[in-house]
């Protein structure tokens, strides 16, 4: 489908578009992204299009969620390619603000998140990350004023953090999670997969395979901590530097306390310079 797709760079024009749609009783969805769109992002847009009459996709590489040693400067960017893909799929509006539009001189406020943001997973390895995400996502929710916001389950802890944040701050948006999209060999799609060397790319799906075996073991009654340790050893033997592998309560990401709770397995590991994250349900 080829739709009329507009790109706006200011909060004022974003608001004008969404207000016009709301005045016509149209339902709206926002899909926050950092651009360099792959099929995983397009699935989020498709979900937005199923839920709403108009879909806004935000393209903003948010500096406040990167630590100084991380890849802000080299993070893949492709605004023209993104616009082409979004036009083909039928999105209605791109919001691509500058850093100054989002964080004008004198900007002095940040959203500080706890609960799932302090689960001892990503937060241990990227301590600045979730406050940066929560701040920019809260701003995007308020700026766009959409009925729905769509996020990928690939960043499962992030999904839980932004859902909690919207609820706690009474932002009237329904947050929807969409299942992770995978390459044919199982590797979760991610903009950062572009950093993998050909050799690392061959090894990378081992992360998903290790998580699947771990999920099977837990399902069949293995003690989670021992099964997690086996998965970590397996990944280390294949050349990963493991940040964490964890089996957690799927809702609040807390430690498991009983056999009956819903379980989510989450992991992060480095292959060379590339940090991969993934998660699956048990």
Contact assessment for residue 244 and residue 134, using Cβ atoms and an 8 Å cutoff: no
Residue bearing tokens 């021992």: 226
Contact assessment for residue 39 and residue 178, using Cβ atoms and an 8 Å cutoff: no
State the DSSP code for 236: H
Binding flag, residue 279, ligand PAF (CB under 6 A)? no
Piece of 1-9, 26-34, 96-104, 270-278 that binds ligand PAF (CB under 6 A): 26-34
| Cα-to-chain-centroid distance, residue 10 | 23
Binding flag, residue 34, ligand PAF (CB under 6 A)? yes
Binding flag, residue 62, ligand PAF (CB under 6 A)? yes
Binding flag, residue 32, ligand PAF (CB under 6 A)? yes
Kindly tell me which residue out of 5, 17, 30, 33 binds ligand PAF, with binding defined by CB under 6 A.
33
CB neighbourhood size of 216 (10 A): 12
Binding flag, residue 155, ligand PAF (CB under 6 A)? yes
Binding flag, residue 111, ligand PAF (CB under 6 A)? no
Which residue intervals of 103-151 are DSSP H helices? 122-125, 129-144
Kindly tell me which residue out of 86, 89, 133, 144 binds ligand PAF, with binding defined by CB under 6 A.
133
* CB 53, min distance to ligand PAF, A: 22
Could you give the residue numbers annotated as active site?
A: 41
| Cα-to-chain-centroid distance, residue 121 | 15
Query: Residue 174 has which token pair?
Result: 């329904």
Residues that bind ligand PAF (CB under 6 A): 32-34, 62, 65, 133, 136-137, 155, 158
């Amino acid at each position: 489908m080829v739709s009329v797709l507009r790109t706006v760079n200011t909060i004022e024009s974003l608001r004008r578009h969404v207000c016009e749609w709301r005045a016509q009783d149209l339902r709206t969805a926002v899909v926050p992204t950092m651009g360099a769109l792959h099929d995983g992002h397009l699935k989020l847009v498709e979900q937005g299009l199923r839920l709403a009459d108009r879909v806004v996709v935000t393209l903003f590489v948010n500096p406040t969620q990167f630590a100084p040693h991380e890849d802000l400067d080299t993070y893949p960017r492709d605004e023209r390619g993104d616009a082409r893909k979004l036009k083909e799929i039928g999105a209605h509006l791109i919001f691509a603000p500058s850093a100054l539009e989002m964080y004008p001189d004198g900007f002095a406020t940040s959203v500080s998140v706890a609960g799932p943001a302090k689960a001892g997973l990503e937060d241990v390895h990227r301590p600045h990350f979730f406050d940066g995400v929560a701040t920019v996502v809260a701003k995007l929710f308020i700026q766009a004023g959409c009925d729905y916001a769509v996020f990928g389950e690939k960043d499962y802890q992030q999904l839980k953090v932004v859902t909690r944040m919207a609820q706690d701050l009474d932002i009237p948006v329904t947050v929807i999670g969409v299942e992770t999209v995978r390459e044919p060999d199982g590797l979760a799609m991610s903009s950062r997969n572009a950093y993998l060397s050909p050799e690392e790319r061959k090894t990378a799906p081992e992360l998903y395979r290790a998580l699947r075996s771990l999920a099977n073991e837990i399902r069949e009654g293995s003690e989670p901590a021992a099964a997690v340790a086996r998965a970590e050893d397996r990944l280390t033997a294949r050349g990963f530097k493991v940040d964490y592998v964890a089996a957690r309560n799927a809702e609040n990401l807390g430690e498991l306390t009983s056999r009956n709770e819903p379980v989510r397995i989450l992991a992060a590991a480095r292959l060379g310079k590339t940090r991969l994250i993934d998660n699956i349900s048990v």
